[in-house]
């Protein structure tokens, strides 16, 4: 099964993708994670993406589509993919249709996670992840049980994303409303769109997504 998680920054796409990966066995394909890895490694793609990401704007379709196409050629994706943060523009959605057809893959569902804008700024500014296992935390909403120690892996190093500050979040939200939200109409037209309330508790959102995918 191949699915897209659609939603604004801070909607919980990454959190839910990780849960679905652990429970259903999908592979998470997060273009944000892949681009951050490219920036950290100083690759050509990373050099082109760095300033754009820091400004909260969208990296060019050409770069992102190339990264996704290469990733889909890796054998682990045959188990099923959750696209997290991709597609984000009409051109990317059309390219994904083409790529999947070429590679003999089908898109089964698109889950749109609905969250009000005012909640998103609060959610994004304050979040951080364990450097060891990627478990997500938040200054105000989800601290580790023992301060400074990851609940999942016991790691003591944590990362904060450079673009998770109130100012950049607003630019990212603007890019979402302008470029990505129109994809809701695009996928409604394919009959594959499912809406879930992204403002509920994490477990509740997972249940809604599983139900929308016929996996409950
Ligand atoms: P994310 O981790 O999904 O919030 O993405 C972080 C940043 O990476 C975004 O603000 C963009 O600058 C860039 N990015 C990630 N995915 C895409 C995409 N599909 N298209 C364009 N830019 C992207």
Model pTM score: 0.92
Mean predicted confidence (pLDDT) in 160-182:
93
Angle between the N-to-C axes of helices 44-54 and 61-72, in degrees from 0 to 180, rounded to the nearest 10:
130
Residue nearest to atom 19 of ligand 1 (CA): 86
The span from the CA of 50 to the CA of 32, in Å, is 11
Q: Which of 69, 84, 85, 173 to mutate to test the pocket of ligand 1 (most atoms within 8 A of CB)?
A: 85
Give the tokens for residue 32: 């944000």
Cβ partners under 8 Å of residue 26, min gap 6: 1, 3, 17, 20, 79, 80, 81, 82
Q: Cα-flanking dihedrals φ and ψ of residue 65, to 5°?
A: -65, -40
Say whether pLDDT at 215 is over 90.
Answer: no
**pLDDT score at 131:** 95
The span from the CA of 213 to the CA of 86, in Å, is 18
Nearest CA-CA partner of 61 in 99, 88, 22, 32: 88
End-to-end, the C-alpha distance of the chain in Å comes to 15
CA distances from 101 to 65, 93, 97 (A): 14, 12, 6
**pLDDT score at 118:** 85
**pLDDT score at 167:** 87
**pLDDT score at 138:** 93
Please tell me which residue in 161, 170, 192, 210 is annotated as part of the active site. Answer: 161
List the alpha helices (DSSP H) in 73-201: 90-102, 117-124, 166-175, 183-188
């Amino acid at each position: 099964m191949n699915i897209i998680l659609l939603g604004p920054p801070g909607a919980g796409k990454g959190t839910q993708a990780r849960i679905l990966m652990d429970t259903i066995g999908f592979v998470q394909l997060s273009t944000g994670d892949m681009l951050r890895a490219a920036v950290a490694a100083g690759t050509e793609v990373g050099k082109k993406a760095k300033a754009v990401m820091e400004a909260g704007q969208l990296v060019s379709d050409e770069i992102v589509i190339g990264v996704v196409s290469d990733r889909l050629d890796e054998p682990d994706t045959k188990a099923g993919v959750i696209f997290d943060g991709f597609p984000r523009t009409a051109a990317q959605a059309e390219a994904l249709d083409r790529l999947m057809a070429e590679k003999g893959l089908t898109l089964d569902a698109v889950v749109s996670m609905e969250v009000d804008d005012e909640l998103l700024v609060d959610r994004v500014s304050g979040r951080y992840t364990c450097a060891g296992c990627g478990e997500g935390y938040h200054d105000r909403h989800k601290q580790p049980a023992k301060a400074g120690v990851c609940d999942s892996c016991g790691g003591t190093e944590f990362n904060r994303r450079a673009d998770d500050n109130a100012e950049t979040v607003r630019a990212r939200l603007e890019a979402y409303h302008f470029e990505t939200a129109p994809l809701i109409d695009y996928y409604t037209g394919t009959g594959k769109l499912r809406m879930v309330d992204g403002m509920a508790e994490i477990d509740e959102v997972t249940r809604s997504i599983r139900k929308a995918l016929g996996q409950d």
